Amino acid sequence: MSKEKVGLVLKLFVSISGISTRKNKTSIILNKLGVQGDKFYNKDLERSILISSIDSYKLMKKRDINMPLGYLGENILIDYNPYKLEIGTKIKIGDTILEISQNCTICNHLASIDKNIPELLKNDRGIFAKVIQGGKINFEDEVYIV
């Protein structure tokens, strides 16, 4: 299996039912149903994992919009911009292999910080992936295109 290193994991998050803020983690466990412990686990397998780039946050910062990390709803924040990768591209992070399943659409809740965020990030919020091979992802794991 040929692979190209493209980046690192900067942050990991899970969504907890009943809590509006996302919980920062040092590692997450994935299986075919998604991120264990996440409120979206076993909901929509094509949208099991949300991967976002730090570039999205930098874009907002350039416009003087301070958005806390995790606000985009991502499970995995990386220092590589994967938004232009084709659907079906496989990514290896830690023990896992993920497959890009679709681009992430913008949610209106993002406008609660600034009304311009949905328009500014309409193509730069993140990508959804499904789990091909489960395993563990740790903070600072390397990211590879397979």
Query: How far is Cα 30 from Cα 96, in angstroms, rounded to an integer?
Result: 7
Counting residues of the chain whose pLDDT is more than 90, the rounded percentage is: 74
For 50, residues 6+ apart whose C-beta sits below 8 A from its C-beta are: 72, 73, 74, 75, 76, 104, 126, 127, 128, 129
Cβ distance 63 to 118 under 8 Å? no
Q: For the segment 102-145, what is each residue's pLDDT rounded down to a tens digit? A: 988 777 778 888 888 888 888 888 999 999 999 999 999 999 99
Q: Give me the domains of the chain, ranges plus CATH numbers.
A: 4-145 (2.40.33.20)
Q: For the segment 60-85, what is each residue's pLDDT rounded down to a tens digit? A: 999 999 989 998 999 999 999 999 99
pTM here is 0.94
Banded model confidence at residue 88, pLDDT cuts 50, 70, 90: very high
Cβ distance 77 to 9 under 8 Å? yes
Query: How far is Cα 81 from Cα 51, in angstroms, rounded to an integer?
Result: 9
Residue labelled with tokens 């659409």: 105
